[in-house]
Amino acid sequence: MRVGLFVTCLVDQLFPRVGARTLQLLRLVGLEVVVDPRGVCCGQPAFNTGFTAEARRVARGLLDCWDDCDAVVAPSGSCVAMIRHHLLELFEDDPALKDTARSLAERTWELSDFLVNRLGITDVGARFSHVVTYHDSCHTLRELRIEKEPRLLLQEVRDLELVEMNDGNACCGFGGTFAVKFPDISSAIGNEKVRSIKATGAQFVVGGDVSCLMHIGGLLQRAALPIRPLHLAEVLTESS
Amino acid sequence: MIRIRPQTARYLYDRHLQEVLRTTMATAQQARDEAVAEVENWEELRNYARQVKLHTLAHLGDYLEALADRISSRGGRVFWAETAEDACNYVVETARRHSARTVVKSKTMLGEEIGINTALQKAGVEPVETDLGEFIVQLCQEPPFHIITPAFHKTRQDVARIFTQHLGQPLGEDPEELTAAARKALREKFLQADLGITGVNLAVADSGHLVVVENEGNARLSLSAPPVHIALMGIEKVIPRLQDLPVFLKLLTRSATGQRITSYVNLIGGPRCPEEVDGPEEFHLVLVDNGRSRILADERKRETLACIRCGACLNVCPVYGRIGGHAYRTVYQGPVGAVLMPQLLGPEQVPEHPFASTLCEACRDICPVKIDIPRLLLELRRELPRRYRRGDALAMRVWAWTFENAGRYAGISAWGRRLLRLFYRDGRLALPLPVLGRWQSTRDLPRLPNKTFYEEFSNQSADGGGNGQ
């Protein structure tokens, strides 16, 4: 199977390791992976701030990247939700691009969803000897309805202990541009999440979106707590 | 213009309030979740109620007329108020005609919306809130903190202090003792009152009834003890058929307070009939528009009016949960307030409201009539006139120009990162940049890697690492 890897802008800029590990993981399960630097961003920052035209200009870049791929995979539920649920809305009135947008929306998968539900894989042979907790990102949980998939994958990781946190379905407060429009509210919400994470006794907080992890990680670091954020793809490619 | 940002710190750094919010929000959510879990066909009921509401809104005029006709035929008087001012004037006029000096009120958010208390006070009439929570916030001269539980933010210790100060006797923290003190104070007011004002939770067109749900019996007293009763009702509250009332009651009380049913469910059809022993001699229904027709006319945002004011979205909202109700500075708060207020007042009056949300979508999942609040928030963000978001507009233009072209993006990224690195140490940037500065005001920045993913990838490919193509 030939799949496109949409690394997303945040991974490209700040978490290249997550992109590299996702690529490694997809190759590990035997896929031919297409990386296309033209695939920069899904346009969500502008879309969610109410700038549709700007979102369209940026999302346009994705449309030609993975024409010949059976699926497109991204290590971010939020970007996938944007593509699956809102991309078509952006290009609805454009007869030339409407079908391409629909096709991309239909073929795009969040990483854990893709592994578990499309490929039927839960054990990728990883080993990670640590206690972890899992953070559900809102768009992954409430737009894509993905909840059990990352857990199925983590449960198969050797020596890993998964401890669920309280109020796991509560938002971490990141919220895209909300994080910088209302930084104090955003962080106050995040610190509630940090409380829940801390209470699990986990050494790592694992998630499927680097945006939430960047926010939670920034709060953990500011509070000098010894808990580190990790993307699911990073855990699934660990062997020690 | 009403803004949220200037006063957030006051609430966020109030330790007492934060602790109260933490406990009360969790309790409210748990009560709702348990009550909902008992209903096997909850999803079906939500879908059904949503359809009923959308149908009603599409034929709102017909149903309101049917309701008004039936109320009139029983001797009730119906007044159509286009604005808040019209509604207040009518109430004040009615009070004057009866030389009313004291008005007892049961909880009505519409009353808050139109400013009825201020209007009555100006006319020399004393409005007395009789709902315990409303009574508490009225004593403190505060607006309601929450649309269902106005004194959501007060602990019993707070209440003991407030009552001791205002009711003229020292009181302990025992809830029963406190309630008894309030009851005694209010009982006198009920007996004195010349007029009673209540809100309306639901109205039924085919039978011509107004429904008021409550737990304290104060609404029943307000609407039956004084000789005159005025019911204030937003025009969106009507449902077509009495046979659907149980569905709406079930959705409302379970979502609002986690109750299977409230202690009192009052159905009002008009003034006292000749054969009845209780009830007011005169009954007025004030149907308030106050901007609702404008919302109704906008098909994309019409579903805002499907709201049954259960407050469940407030209880589940991470933003409301940290800043509380008063930070919004508007009558309706939380997710529903964020979509309702810009439409009632005009977007330029509350430019920050639609943005005070993480778009976590918990509100959409909990709403008993499935209002797509996140979608409405996005619509409202788009519609905010540009002059209120010039900063965003500029930032987004620069962002789009950078990100729309992969070559340009890679070039700007390479130079930008080189520049940032000069000022970047251990999660902090010593450069007063707008976005990053706000980020690091409360949390550290992530490590800035030496290369972007694509830079590293193209290196690898050049080295023969292969990209699988």
Q: State the DSSP H helix or E strand holding residue A135, giving kind and residue range, or none if neither.
A: strand A131-135
Is B318's CB within 8 Å of A215's CB? Answer: no
Q: What is the pLDDT of residues B216-229, one digit of tens each?
A: 999 999 999 999 99
For residue A240, the model assigns a pLDDT of 75
Band of pLDDT at residue B465, cut at 50, 70 and 90: very low
Residue B155 has pLDDT above 70, yes or no: yes
pLDDT above 90 for B64: yes
The listed range with the strongest mean pLDDT (A9-13, B273-277, B420-424) is A9-13
A3 touches chain B (CB under 8 A): no
Interface residue B425 vs chain A (CB under 8 A): no
On the question of pLDDT at B462 being above 90, the answer is no
Taking the C-alpha atoms of residue B153 and residue B17, their distance in angstroms, rounded to an integer, is 7
Mean pLDDT of chain B: 95
pLDDT value, residue B31: 97
Please say if the pLDDT value at position A70 is more than 90: yes
The pLDDT value recorded for residue B459 is: 83
**pTM: predicted TM-score of the whole model, two decimal places:** 0.96
Is A61 in contact with B427 (Cβ distance < 8 A)? no
CB neighbours of residue B426 within 10 Å = 8
| B370: closest CA of chain A, how far (Å) | 13
pLDDT, chain A, mean: 97
Nearest to A171 among B9, B318, B392 (CB): B318
- Per-residue pLDDT, averaged over B328-347, amounts to 98
Across the range B317-330, mean pLDDT stands at 98
Portion of chain B with pLDDT greater than 70, in percent: 98
Q: Are residues B33 and B99 in the same domain?
A: no
Chain A stretch 71-130, residues whose beta carbon is closer than 8 A to a beta carbon of chain B = none
Q: A120, exposed or middle or buried, with CB in 10 Å at 0-12, 13-18, 19+?
A: exposed
Q: Do B260 and B404 have their domain in common?
A: no
Q: Which residue of B has its CA nearest to A38?
A: B406
Say whether residue B446 is in contact with chain A using an 8 A CB cutoff: yes
Domain containing residue B273: CATH number: 3.40.50.10420
Q: Which residues of chain A form CATH 3.40.50?
A: 2-118, 131-236
Q: Report yes or no: A217 at the B interface, CB cutoff 8 Å.
A: yes
DSSP state of B447: P
pLDDT at B460: 81
The beta-carbon neighbor of A182 closest among B8, B22, B382 is: B8
Comparing CB atoms, the residue among A52, A175, A221 nearest residue B359 is A175
Q: Are A193 and A170 in contact (CB under 8 A)?
A: yes
Residues 6+ apart with CB under 8 A from B275: none
Mean pLDDT of B102-114: 97
Fold (CATH) for A2-118: Rossmann fold (3.40.50)
Q: Is residue B103 located within the same domain as residue B193?
A: yes
Quote the CA–CA distance of B360 and A137 in Å, as a whole number.
Answer: 8
Note whether A240 contacts B: Cβ–Cβ < 8 A: no
Same domain (yes/no): B33, B141: no
User: Is the pLDDT confidence value at B311 over 50?
Assistant: yes
Q: Are residues B257 and B136 in the same domain?
A: yes
Tokens 């269902």 map to which residue?
A: B148
C-alpha span between B242 and B263 (Å, rounded):
20
**Domain end point (choices B333, B362, B388):** B388
Q: Answer whether residue B98 shows pLDDT above 70.
A: yes
Asked if residue B361 and residue B324 are part of one domain, the reply reads yes
**Residue B468 — pLDDT band, cuts 50, 70, 90?**
very low
**Residue B368 pLDDT grade (very low, low, confident, very high; cuts 50, 70, 90):** very high
Q: Domain boundary residue among B238, B261, B293? A: B293
**Is 80 exceeded by the pLDDT of residue B94?**
yes
Q: Which of B40, B51, B48, B4 is nearest to B247 (CA)?
A: B48
Domain shared by B152 and B95, yes or no: yes
> Does residue B431 surpass a pLDDT of 90?
no
ipTM attached to this prediction: 0.97
Is the domain of B346 the same as that of B204? no
| pLDDT at A220 > cutoff 50 | yes
Does the structure show a pLDDT above 80 at B399?
yes
Answer yes or no: do B153 and B197 share one domain: yes
My answer on whether B424 and B345 are in the same domain is: no
Query: What's the pLDDT band for B168 if we cut at 50, 70, 90?
Result: confident
B105 and B219 in a single domain? The answer is yes
Question: Given a cut of 70, is residue B239 above it in pLDDT?
Answer: yes
Ranges of beta strands (E only) in B155-263 are 195-198, 202-204, 209-214, 228-234, 238-239
pLDDT in tens, B261-287: 999 999 999 999 988 888 999 999 999
Q: What is the mean pLDDT of residues B431-454?
A: 92
Distance from CA of A237 to the nearest CA of B (A): 17
* pLDDT for position A171: 98
Q: Is the pLDDT of residue B440 over 80?
A: yes
Residues of B with Cβ-Cβ distance to A192 under 8 angstroms: 22, 318, 321-322
B164: in domain:
no
Determine the pLDDT at residue B272: 95
Structural domain total, chain B = 3
Does the structure show a pLDDT above 50 at B128?
Answer: yes
Domain with B236, as residue range(s), is 42-159+186-293
Residue B172 belongs to some domain of the structure:
no
**How far does A4 lie from chain B, in Å, by closest CA?**
10
CB contact under 8 A, B322 and A185: yes
Check if B7 contacts A (Cβ < 8 Å).
no
CB-based contact, A15 to chain B, within 8 Å: yes
pLDDT band per the 50, 70, 90 thresholds, residue B433: confident
Can you tell me the mean pLDDT for A100-124?
98
Considering B388, B407, B429, which residue would you say is the last residue of a domain? B388
Smallest Cβ–Cβ distance between A183 and the set B360, B384, B441 belongs to B441
| For residues A29-37, average pLDDT | 97
B250: Cβ–Cβ under 8 A, 6 or more apart, which residues? B39, B45, B260
A35 φ/ψ angles, rounded to the nearest 5 degrees: -110, 125
Q: What digits encode the pLDDT tens for the residues A149-189?
A: 999 999 999 999 999 999 999 999 999 999 999 999 999 99
pLDDT of B372 above 60: yes
pLDDT for the residue B466: 44
Give the alpha-carbon dihedral of B55, B368, B361, B437, to 10 degrees.
100
Residue B315 and residue B419 in one domain = no
Q: Does B381 touch chain A (CB under 8 A)?
A: yes
- Cβ-contact B287, B247 below 8 angstroms: no
What's the average model confidence in pLDDT over A111-116? Answer: 98
Q: Which of residues 132-161 of A touch B (CB under 8 A)?
A: 138-139, 142-143
Please check the confidence at residue B33 and state whether its pLDDT lies above 60: yes
Give the ranges where B107-192 is alpha helix by DSSP (H): 109-114, 116-122, 132-139, 156-166, 175-192
Share of chain B above pLDDT 90, in %: 92
Q: What is the CATH number of domain A131-236?
A: 3.40.50
Per the CB < 8 A criterion, the answer to whether B359 and B374 are in contact is: yes
User: With 0-12 CB in 10 A as exposed, 13-18 as middle and 19+ as buried, what is B38?
Assistant: exposed
| Mean of pLDDT values over B308-323 | 98
**First-residue to last-residue Cα distance in chain A:** 29
Residue B463 confidence (pLDDT): 61
